[in-house]
Amino acid sequence: MNENESKKDLEKEPENVKERLRSDNEDWEEKKAKLKNVTIRGIDSDTYDHFSRKIRNLEMNLGDAISKMMEDIVRDLDDSIDHLPGLRARSTFNNFKLERVSISHYGKLEVSRADLEGANARIAFSHIDRLTFLPDVTRDVFNRYVRNVSHCDTVRMPSIFPKLILYSKIDFCEKIEIYEVEGEGDTTKNTSSKD
């Protein structure tokens, strides 16, 4: 490259930078036009603080994260309505209207389907030495009433649950045992153990 070509490239550079900045500014203006400042009443402050800390730890923008979550919920509702004609948004959101309850610091606890349905609440189980969900707890009942399970030594689950469903609700537990219940008795296998 000779000296004249080099000078021409340098002269073009400011124009390229200006064009790029103009394009970025137009993109920003377009995005800004879609943004809306909102106030949402009735959000639990502890939940909001915990959520915003997690989002910041992921180096994400809180507004972007909430927008993405709302898009996902709308898409899921739209998909549900398309594939399940009897399903309406109101019935889908009934899960969110349940009271929230926490049960913690017990040595041994066995939970049945009747226990969960009788509580009629989204339950968080924590700090329980040995937590057992009895075989009559179905996947639907578990998903509807169990918010999460955390910081338990041993969690025992019937084999009807897919492993990934369990892992999505169970955090920071020493051991997850999956047991099979068939006419012959109880066979237990250890699925996960944290050392």
Question: Measured between alpha carbons, how far is 166 from 143 in angstroms, rounded to an integer?
Answer: 10
User: What pLDDT does 117 receive?
Assistant: 95
193: left (phi over 0), alpha (psi -120 to 50) or beta: beta
Spatial separation of the C-alpha atoms in residues 141 and 169, rounded to whole Å? 13
Q: Where residue 125 falls among pLDDT bands split at 50, 70, 90?
A: very high
Q: What is the pLDDT of residue 111?
A: 97
Mean model confidence pLDDT for the chain: 77
- The model's pTM is 0.51
- In this prediction, residue 184 carries a pLDDT of 40
pLDDT digits (tens, 9 = 90+) for 27-36: 667 766 777 7
Q: Above pLDDT 70, what percent of the chain?
A: 64
> Which tokens go with 54?
């997690």
Q: Residue range 160-175: average pLDDT? A: 90
Strand spans (E) along the chain: 99-111, 121-133, 146-150, 154-158, 170-171, 175-182, 185-193
Taken as a whole, the chain contains a residue count of 195
The arithmetic mean of pLDDT across residues 117-142, rounded, is: 94
